[in-house]
Structure 1
Amino acid sequence: MLRSTSYFISVAIIFAGLSPCAAQPATPPNAQDAAAKTLPKVLLIGDSISGGYTKAVIQRMEGTANVSRIPGNGEYTGTGLKKIDEWLGDQRWDVIHFNWGLWDMYGWQYAKEDRSPKAYEERLEKLVLRLEMTGAKLIWATTTPVCPEAEATMLNRFKTELKITPEVEREYLDAAQRVMKKHQIQINDLHALVLPELETLSPAPDNVHFTGSGYGRMAKQVAEVITSAIQSEASDDNEAQEPANAPSVREQ
């Protein structure tokens, strides 16, 4: 009797496995790839600060957008003008989140170049004009705060003691603000986000970079701002495609 019962149980299990109700993958891998290709494409442009939050932004926006970042360091606006075409490539970008600023202030290996607020503003104007040609939604990330003490790399590597004063920093921030206002570009104020807690979010008073917590905080805001922009653009597209005389549900 036990043997007979075991036999019927085994047969039942086999047929259950062949049943149409058996568990199947929610989405086949090839369908997942196809879905990913239709997601909005986002490009991050910036220096090592953007490099610090890129991975977390990609993770936060998984399933919402395909996020890419330029290779290497965006450095100062002069580098941007030389490489912008290469960075943009032939891809059609839906959103471009960008910044230049710290390298224009500190210089580092470009210290001998004209990096004055005036030159910075002029180059930034040219870069924005080029970015506008992509048709992407543009979002300017304000330059994160300068360090309160003489910057370590300039001092140790380039033997130059350079401390950016709040007054000089403001000149650069205002220059960028004028360009963005002129072109009606959305602003993601990362400067205001981290400034109140700069002492705890920075690894040292002579370092312009951030701790993991600092980059995590920026990543959260960057992802939220880009997601909101994508949703807003999608909503605008839907409204534009809807016939003006389309009857409402009540009228139907």
Structure 2
Amino acid sequence: MPEAVQAESSLPKVVLVGDSIRLSYASKVEEALHGEAVVISPKANGGDSSNVLKRLEQWVIREQPDVVHFNCGIHDTKKFKSSGAFQVSAEQYEANLREIINQIRAKTNATVLFATTTPILDERAAKTRSERDYTLNGASVAQFNAIALKVMQELNVPVNDLNAALSEADQPVGTLIGADGVHLTPSGRDLAGRTVAEFIQEHLETSAEK
């Protein structure tokens, strides 16, 4: 076996799972953890928590990772204009999060990490989605993040507060979130990627001791 391949095979394996926010910072995490971990980030958008749960075997379990860093929330909080209902109800979101964590823990030895949903800038989000049948807003994100924080505390899952990392950054959040009010700008992706990489680094040692 070539030395480079052998060295890589001995590194801890990290799986990133989540929506388009995760997709946008994944390469930054991979760069930051080069030589420390093998980072796997599925090409597919994770979507809402129901979809993450549905695809868990494919995206996480079969990889048998050492660390799983996951997020879901933005898609869950899509509120349909016709019914006022969320894409995934608050109750179902909580149940999905619990089941995702339970399955990962039951079927792997991975350390599970969760990231909060990043900020939504209401005016920008509304303007760019005026023709769509749903809305996205910061109040819904705050509601679902609160649910997630409760679950993670109860299940003893470390939380990477990406929402706070962006909303309380040294530079204005409006420079980190793009024109559509949701997705990250290049500087936002840099900050999120750096934050995720550092959070994972903190838990790689804990994972190795398992």
Q: What TM-score bracket applies, with the shorter chain setting the length?
A: 0.7 to 0.9
1:215 aligned residue: 189
Q: 2: distance between equivalents of 1:123 and 1:155?
A: 29
Q: 1: distance between equivalents of 2:53 and 2:173?
A: 30
Q: 1:202 aligns with which of 172, 177, 180?
A: 177
Deviation of the 1:207 alpha carbon: 2.2
| Runs of 4+ deviating beyond 6 Å | none
2:137 aligned residue: 164
Amino acid at match of 2:103: R
2:117 aligned residue: 143
Deviation of the 1:112 alpha carbon: 6.9
Deviation of the 1:114 alpha carbon: 5.0
Amino acid at match of 2:94: E
Structure 2, unaligned runs of 5 or more: none
Spell out the pairing of 1:1-252 with structure 2 (5 A cutoff).
Answer: 30-106=2-78, 115-133=88-106, 134-149=108-123, 150-151=125-126, 154-156=129-131, 158-160=132-134, 162-166=135-139, 168-196=140-168, 197-204=172-179, 206-234=180-208, 236=209
Higher share of residues assigned helix: 1
Deviation of the 1:159 alpha carbon: 4.3
Provide TM-score, normalisation by structure 2: 0.87
Q: Would you say the 8 A contact 1:151–1:208 is kept in 2?
A: no
* RMSD, aligned CA: 2.1
Q: 2: distance between equivalents of 1:200 and 1:39?
A: 36
Deviation of the 1:154 alpha carbon: 3.8
Provide TM-score, normalisation by structure 1: 0.74
**Relative contact order, higher structure (CA 8 A, sep 6+):** 2
Q: 2: distance between equivalents of 1:113 and 1:106?
A: 5
- Greater radius of gyration (CA): 1
Amino acid at match of 2:111: K
Amino acid at match of 1:155: S
Q: Would you say the 8 A contact 2:110–2:207 is kept in 1?
A: no
